[in-house]
Homo-oligomer: A and B are copies of this chain.
Amino acid sequence: VKTSLCFLLAARRCEMADLQQLTETSALVRQTAALIHHLQRERGLSHLFIGSKGLRFAAEREQQIAWTDHSEAQLRACFDALGTNPPMRHGTRLFSRIAHTLHGLDTLPQMRQSVQGLALTALELFHGYTRLINCLMSVVFEAADMATDPALSRLLVALFHLMQGKELAGQERAVGSALWSAGSVAREGQQQLAHLIESQDKCLGLFEHFATPELLQLWRQCQSPQVEAERERLRRLLLQTLAGGDLDSQKSSAWFDCCSQRMDEWRLVEEQMAKMLVEHSAARWASVAEEVQAIEALKARLATAQDADLPGNAAPLFAPDPGGVATLGPALEKSVLDMLQEQSVRLQSMAAELDLVRASLNDRKRIERAKGLLMAHQQLSEEGAHKALRDLAMRQNQRMVDVADAVLSMAALFKPKA
């Protein structure tokens, strides 16, 4: 029959299993972040390649494709290694996201061929790569949402927001480039830009909120003030030129470069965080494993004490200190009670902190759910649902999440599915 102590032990073993799983998903997140960065670069170079009608950036693009392929192979290896035995618990959404991602990656060679043949518009190219990157971001999101250790969850959530901010910076680079190339300012492009900058700042704010002081220091060290000043100057030109006004298309490459440098700087912090994540989850696992050993030792001592107490068991002749064993009983019993109490307090405060950290993921969850509702009841694709929400947000000058909430609040009006 299992005792109270057995289940205290089982609880800690569950924690170990969860941390083991987190170590695996951390490696996955790290590799995902690397691939996203390569896809962002490939998107940028493909854009320049198409913009120059295939006359420039061909070699750089080819080189980048080789790097992307290498990174993709590493991520696929990570996916393959992902624990399906024993099956990952609560992994349904993560695995579903991975299925989507793999499906997206399978279409990449075809897209590249179209770029090579100049058979894609800049907008199609942008949407193609962005959709794929969004799939990969969802993998990171689910990993962040699954973590059950508050400190690691905090790190994952900070990393997710930094990655999301960087991707929005990549989208800003593309939208800005389109404006510079056009040589004149379009109102819609300006609105889109303002929207991207606002969302970006929000993500970076959340990153800073959840990052440790050491990470914030690294964050400040990695960013060059010159690059930032140049980006802000060009942003201002893009945003403050009156609609229809002329833009100096010569500045296009300066814009592209300083946006790219910015993303490369952030990438350093991102990689550092991903590395920490892998290391810290392994370290947390080891520390819980040590505690489990200590409890096991206590359990063994209790068993000895109880065996000695059993009426049928005569005390062994040469027992070193039978009196000691007998008096050990209540003291050990007391420490089991203390451990139960301590565990209970710890679990409650962990749960409270987890809630707090995860709440920052809620905006995205609500947007995803509103998209799901639109997909199910308006027969829209994921792409179409996203566009519908984004267009509505732009038209009403609201945030995506506000529009999503409005959709969710009308959920009762949608006919339930058969």
Contact = CB atoms under 8 A, between A and B. Distances in A.
A95 interface: yes
A196 to B, nearest CB: 25
A351 B375 contact: no
A347 B103 contact: no
A304 interface: no
A344 B96 contact: yes
Interface residues of A, number: 65
Contact of A92 (B1, B18, B369): B18
Interface SS of A by simple majority? helix
A415 to B, nearest CB: 13
A90 B14 contact: yes
Q: How many copies of this kind of chain does the complex include?
A: 2
A390 interface: no
Nearest to A362: B355
A103 B340 contact: yes
A337 B11 contact: no
Interface in A1-31: 1-8, 10-18, 21
Interface string A74-114: 00100110101011111111111011101100100000000
Interface string A364-384: 010011011101100001100
B92 A89 contact: no
B18 A102 contact: no
B87 A341 contact: no
A21 B15 CA distance: 16
B348 A371 contact: yes
B369 A96 contact: no
Interface string A37-61: 0000000000000000000000000
A11 B142 CA distance: 13
Residue picked from A2, A76, A106, A148, most chain B C-beta under 10 Å: A2
A84 B11 CA distance: 10
A89 B14 contact: yes
A11 B347 contact: no
A7 B80 contact: no
17 contacts: A2-B79, A7-B79, A7-B102, A11-B92, A11-B94, A14-B89, A14-B92, A15-B92, A18-B89, A86-B87, A89-B90, A92-B347, A344-B375, A344-B382, A348-B373, A352-B369, A352-B373
Interface of A: 1-8, 10-18, 21, 76, 79-80, 82, 84, 86-96, 98-100, 102-103, 106, 148, 336-337, 340-341, 343-345, 347-349, 351-352, 365, 368-369, 371-373, 375-376, 381-382, 408, 411
10 closest A-B pairs (Cβ-Cβ)? A348-B372, A89-B89, A11-B95, A86-B86, A7-B99, A4-B102, A4-B103, A14-B91, A11-B96, A8-B99
Given A10-B99, A93-B351, A349-B373, 5 more contacts: A3-B102, A6-B99, A10-B87, A14-B91, A348-B373
